[in-house]
Structure 1
Amino acid sequence: MNVLTEWTAIVCRELGVDPAEIDRDALLDLTKEVAHGVTRPAAPLTAYLLGLAQGAGTAPPDAVERLTALAQEWERTAGDS
């Protein structure tokens, strides 16, 4: 078992989360895109906000994909808002 898998299992157990419900690779891709496309500190903040929305039941089913796309488009569209 690698460190990331072991850590994920421990954190899921501590938080009462079913690890089968987590798409770890998609989440890691999201944080990578945010860190590189927006700013590094935005990556953990984005993951936390996504978790809050998931817990509150307000995150759309495609939230990870939508946030990833936003991060990928950030540099091109940041000045538009």
Structure 2
Amino acid sequence: MNRTLPPEALTEWAEKLRDELGLDEPLPITLVLDLARDVANAVARPAAPLSAFAAGLAAGMRGGSSDDVRAAVAQVVRLAAEQETTDD
């Protein structure tokens, strides 16, 4: 099985997730991938999926709007950047 997805396959997977989980809005693929990249680079690779999950939980607890998602992601990215500067 090829585990590398072309962009259109990732979009298709995100749509399947959205349908299966009953989500109202499209998944913000680029936002989540950027969060994962930033955390992986600033903290550690294993911290990336955990951080994305935590941001999703926080956004859901705040109401789950697109603004809630962006705010939670921004908090995680800020925290990762702070972690990176304290480790130097």
Shorter-normalised TM range: 0.7 to 0.9
Q: What's the offset of the Cα at 1:78? A: 4.4
Q: Which residue of 2 aligns with 1:67?
A: 76
Q: Which has the higher contact order (CA 8 A, sep 6+)?
A: 1
1:5-32 CA distances to partner (integer Å, 9 max, x unpaired)?
A: 0000001111111243x32211110111
Runs of at least 4 residues of structure 1 off by over 6 A? none
Number of residues paired by the alignment?
78
1:38-72 CA distances to partner (integer Å, 9 max, x unpaired)?
A: 01111111111112222222788312112112212
Secondary structure at the residue paired with 2:44? coil
Task: For structure 2, list consecutive stretches of 5 or more residues without a partner in the other structure.
Answer: 1-6
Secondary structure at the residue paired with 1:2? helix
Q: Which residue of 2 aligns with 1:9?
A: 15
Moved more, 47-56 or 59-68: 59-68
Task: For structure 1, list consecutive stretches of 5 or more residues without a partner in the other structure.
Answer: none
